[in-house]
A and B are shown apart, each in its own frame.
Chain A
Amino acid sequence: MIATITPVVYGSRKRAKWAVAALLFSTAEALGGATMGALLGGVGWLLARGRPLPGAAWWALAVGAALYALNEGGLVKLPRPSSPWQVPRGWRARFHPWRVAAGFGWLLGLGVLTHVETATFYLLVAWSVLSGSPLTSALVFAGFGLAQSLAFTVDGLRIETLDDTRSVGEWRLRWRGFVHRVNAAVLAAVGVFVALIAR
């Protein structure tokens, strides 16, 4: 993914242009996340009809987190629905880089249109529905977009050439396993925590 994003968002060697593109990208990511969060929270609100969801729903989240912690740790196989779609590379030739940065940011911020890297995302989707609040869910899901854009912004600070893009991509590949272990730990923590406070 980084090879598609960086030429647009971070291709300029002029730091002022880079900063504007990065800001547009991050803002659009947060808005994309907020859009998806509001939709999912709205679904939860409709299902619960404004009333708080029963404790059983949170128990289901705890069980889901525990199962996907095992999956993320490579111990059990579970379905991992994901879209093979990618942000349209053609936009890079058709539109101004800032417009593309904003467009890519919004699409990636939605989260569901592109590849789902870790199972933590499924739990975020479930949490958003269970929250039953479009506003709370929008604010929290905006954090997904912001965190994703932060990772790319950190990369952008290191990238000036195509070789830099390649080396950052290789670095990410080397640390991919570790990232999945961290997500397994996060899911285990969420599973135990929610199970204990939802009693």
Chain B
Amino acid sequence: MATATARTVTLDRLLPLALGGACGAVAARLGLPSAPSLIGVGVLLAVASGYSSAWSP
């Protein structure tokens, strides 16, 4: 029971990392020029961190 729970917790934590990493690899494969891509990275970070800030206690 404890092992199954630990496995679920680990999966719960690893799955977002695997999904995110796969998305990053696919996006890099699309071959966009690096300068606009890096601006896109900034926009993604800004939107994700900004929207998530509202979850601050």
Contact = CB atoms under 8 A, between A and B. Distances in A.
Given A58-B38, A192-B28, A115 B47 contact: no
Interface centre among B25, B45, B48 (most CB of A within 10 A): B45
B32 to A, nearest CB: 8
Contacts, number: 166
Given A73-B13, A117-B52, A184-B16, A131 B25 contact: no
Given A143-B46, A147-B50, A182-B48, A136 B39 contact: yes
Tell me if A's interface is mostly helix, strand, loop or mixed: helix
Contacts of A127: 38, 41-42, 45
Contacts of B49: 111, 117-118, 120-121, 123-124, 144, 147, 183
A191 B28 CA distance: 11
Contacts of B47: 143-144, 147
Interface residues of A, number: 61
- Chain B interface bracket (under 10, 10 to 19, 20 to 34, 35 or more): 35 or more
Nearest to A148: B50
Interface of B: 12-14, 16-21, 23-25, 27-29, 34, 37-39, 41-57
Given A121-B45, A193-B28, 9 more contacts: A1-B56, A70-B17, A120-B48, A147-B48, A182-B48, A184-B13, A185-B23, A188-B20, A197-B28
Interface of A: 1-2, 33, 58, 69-70, 73-75, 108, 111, 114-118, 120-121, 123-124, 127-128, 131, 136-137, 140-148, 150-152, 155, 172-173, 175-176, 179-194, 196-198
